[in-house]
Amino acid sequence: MRNDTKPLNINDNNDVIKALKESDEYAFENVYRYYFRGLCAFCSQYVPLSEAEEIVQDTMMWLWENRSSLIADLTLKTLLFTIVKNKALNRITHYEVKRKVHQEIADKYEKEFADPDFYLENELIKLYNKALEKLPAEFRESYEMNRKDHLTHKEIAQKLNVSPQTINYRIGQALKILRIELKDYLPLLFLLLHHRL
């Protein structure tokens, strides 16, 4: 430990480095108090003050943990300010990358995030269309001509050159299959598709 009769000269770089290399806690406390405010003010040009203080504390911790490898020819002030600047820039880069990724996700799913109902509707329509694809071709054709084109059973029968009873059967079977396929979603689909089922 330092002899109290010979106080530390904080401006004597060689003296300070020598004391730190000798694990002089008194010297470290002096360095901490002397540089802390200035480093925080400097760092706050890059990041918010609360983060600046955290970066400076990390830097001081680094200084103490690496005291044995300090070089007397290297100015302590320059070393500390350089480390603080690099840490601040690294944090900015990290946040910028993080912000960019978040923005890309937000842009991609903006409609879903802004309107959860839209997302739910999309998912339900996908399920509905998937169920439609499972219908036999003639069932689906008759069903869609009725539901999408709003044709009557008689009009569909005329277009397909079959009897109205055949159309009744095909649409009835289509509805039966769809109700089985979509049984877990029927209440929502009923509201969403405006009685389409």
Q: What is the third-level CATH fold of 13-108?
A: Rna Polymerase Sigma Factor; Chain: A (1.10.1740)
The ranges assigned to domains in the chain are 13-108, 114-192
Confidence of residue 166 (pLDDT cuts 50, 70, 90): very high
CA atoms of 156 and 126, how far apart (whole Å): 26
The answer, yes or no, to whether residue 8 has pLDDT greater than 50, is yes
| pLDDT tens string 74-123 | 788 889 999 999 999 888 887 776 677 667 666 665 554 455 555 556 77
Fold of the 114-192 domain: Arc Repressor Mutant, subunit A (1.10.10)
pTM comes to 0.48
pLDDT in tens, 30-45: 999 999 999 999 999 8
Q: CA 145, CA 154: separation in Å to the nearest integer?
A: 11
Q: How far is CA 148 from CA 6, 121, 144, 171, 174, in A?
A: 95, 18, 5, 13, 14
